[in-house]
Amino acid sequence: MPMAILPNDAQARGRTMKTISPGVELERISSGAGDKFVLNMGPQHPSTHGVLRLILELDGERVTRCEPVIGYLHTGIEKQCEYRTYHQVIPLIDRMDYLAGPNEELGYVLAVEKLLGIEAPRRTRYIRVLIAELSRIASHLVWLGTGALELNVSSVFMYCFRDREYINDLFEAASGARMFPRYFRVGGLIDDLPEGFTEQARGFIKSFRPHLKEYHGLLTRNPIWMKRTVGVARVSRRQCMDYALTGPILRATGLEYDIRRAFPYSVYPDFDFDIPTQTAGDAYARYLVRMAEMAQSLKIVEQALDKLPEGPVNTVSRDLSDRNTYRSHPWRHFVVPPGEVYQSIESPRGEKGYYVVSDGTNKPVRMRMRSPSFINVQALPLLIEGSWLADAVVAIASVDPVLGDVDR
């Protein structure tokens, strides 16, 4: 009975099931709660990182109950994948966690390659890690920028989005699209890196290092920032494990758990990097973990650029990605042997898993994603209940959910 150890188990049991109609739901809560005030936060609230809706029950300024309501961005991507060939799925995968598209692609591509029993060439694996780590930095920059903006630090927001634009420039140079590059492909890449990419990437690293120091200077020891984040939205390691929370939330409680290290994939064992951890488990600790992760990702990017091996980027063993060959064999002829596979990667938000079932045709018969945002959002009542209303915003920002990833 894992539920028995939850701290608010009694409350959880007393909860009524949610109804479909929002009006009815609100009425019932307010009538049952006496003189408590029910506040509907979202789904169009600027600090809910998309379309997350929270029903907050307030006693004065204290939040006594919090219910996250999801489903406002339901795209049906898991179902849609069943009607797409393996390559047509990749643009959909991009659009789940829309802040870290390449990282998502990497997991899916690795899962299908596992099913096929092929491995991408060495150069491709290095380029994939390079692009995926850049996207992790981009994703954390959006988190830092928007999280700071919610606490009224608008200058950090501007600086973060400036640096993210430089990363998007790199994606654009490599694949031709900025936010959803769709650069990875089963068995290889769309194309080799363009000429001048390494110089451009090194230029970014050179400019980003001092910028990261500036963000630390603006926030890390700032008394207002610390007042708003230290001790806020605290979770223990035990609670993290009960709720299956992963990513920076778990690492902020002191457990050094990172899929890149625990279950290495691609060429991550070749790189020298640390897993940043903190022990406090509050919003400030998560902030420090993510800031340190950006520095570590930058380290991996630099190593990948240094070590980038020469060679082909596409496998030709099954004529999957060879441009000239599949002109005569369009992608619908590329079939995957029957079987099922699970591949997890460390996305910027935690463990992202892909469960792909194939029945031997050119389309997956079932796709299921274990998305970190969905799992982490369920911990919001734990973080928010009992705190001030103003700290609810900090709690959401520190979890960093992406609603496209929650609803799929």
Partner 1 sequence: MSVRNALEGVGEMLKGLSITFHYLFQKPDTISYPEVKRQPAARWKGRHYLRLWDDGLERCIACKLCQIVCPSQAIYVEAATNPRAKPISKSQHYAKQFQLNMLRCVFVGDCEEVCPVDCIVLSREYEIAGYTREELIYTKERLTEAHPGSSGRDPNVKRGPARMG
Q: What share of the chain is helix, strand, coil (3-state, %, to 5)?
A: 50, 10, 35
Residues numbered 24 to 83 that lie near partner 1 (CB under 8 A) are none
Residues numbered 121 to 140 that lie near partner 1 (CB under 8 A) are 121
Which range of residues in 89-97, 238-246, 347-355, 394-402 is near partner 1 by CB under 8 A?
89-97
DSSP class of residue 311? Answer: S
Residue 224, both tokens? 């207002």
Please, what is the minimum distance in Å from the beta carbon of residue 54 to partner 1?
Answer: 31
Query: Which has the closest alpha carbon to 184: 87, 68, 259, 267?
Result: 87
Q: What does the per-residue mask of binding to partner 1 show for 259-278, with x meaning CB under 8 A?
A: --------------------
Q: Residue 199 or 214: which CB sits closer to partner 1?
A: 214
Q: Among 92, 112, 151, 289, which residue interacts with partner 1 (rule: CB under 8 A)?
A: 92
Residues numbered 388 to 407 that lie near partner 1 (CB under 8 A) are none
Q: Among 332, 337, 342, 390, which residue interacts with partner 1 (rule: CB under 8 A)?
A: 332
Q: Residue 188 or 281: which CB sits closer to partner 1?
A: 188
Please, what is the minimum distance in Å from the beta carbon of residue 155 to partner 1?
Answer: 5
Residue 203: its H or E element: helix 197-215
Q: Residue 71 or 311: which CB sits closer to partner 1?
A: 311
Q: Residue 159 or 354: which CB sits closer to partner 1?
A: 159
Which range of residues in 30-38, 85-93, 260-268, 382-390 is near partner 1 by CB under 8 A?
85-93
Residues numbered 147 to 206 that lie near partner 1 (CB under 8 A) are 155, 162, 165, 169, 172-177, 180, 182, 190-192, 194-195
Looking at this protein, which amino acid is placed at residue 26?
L
Antiparallel, parallel or unpaired: β 339-347 and 350-358 = antiparallel
Residues numbered 307 to 326 that lie near partner 1 (CB under 8 A) are 311-316, 322-324, 326
Residues numbered 356 to 385 that lie near partner 1 (CB under 8 A) are none
Q: Residue 170 or 301: which CB sits closer to partner 1?
A: 170
Please, what is the minimum distance in Å from the beta carbon of residue 5 to partner 1?
Answer: 38
Contacts of 55-61 spanning 24+ positions with Cβ under 8 A: 55/25, 55/26, 55/29, 56/384, 56/389, 56/392, 57/29, 57/33, 58/389, 61/388, 61/389, 61/390
First to last CA, the chain: 29
Give the interface size with partner 1 as a residue count (CB under 8 A). Answer: 47
Is residue 367 within 8 Å of residue 83, measured between CB atoms?
no
Query: Which has the closest alpha carbon to 12: 67, 58, 71, 62?
Result: 67
Q: Residue 47 or 222: which CB sits closer to partner 1?
A: 222
Please, what is the minimum distance in Å from the beta carbon of residue 66 to partner 1?
Answer: 31
Altogether, the residues listed in the chain come to a count of 408
Q: Residue 61 or 214: which CB sits closer to partner 1?
A: 214
Cα–Cα distance measured from residue 271 to residue 102, given in angstroms and rounded to the nearest whole number: 19
Which range of residues in 37-45, 214-222, 277-285, 350-358 is near partner 1 by CB under 8 A?
214-222
Antiparallel, parallel or unpaired: β 339-347 and 188-189 = unpaired
Cα–Cα distance measured from residue 5 to residue 150, given in angstroms and rounded to the nearest whole number: 33
- Burial grade of 319 (CB within 10 A; 0-12, 13-18, 19 or more): middle
Q: Judged by CB under 8 A, does residue 91 bind partner 1?
A: yes
- Burial grade of 117 (CB within 10 A; 0-12, 13-18, 19 or more): exposed
Please, what is the minimum distance in Å from the beta carbon of residue 399 to partner 1?
Answer: 25
- Interface with partner 1 by CB under 8 A: which residues? 84, 87-89, 91-92, 121, 155, 162, 165, 169, 172-177, 180, 182, 190-192, 194-195, 214, 217-219, 221-224, 311-316, 322-324, 326-328, 330-332
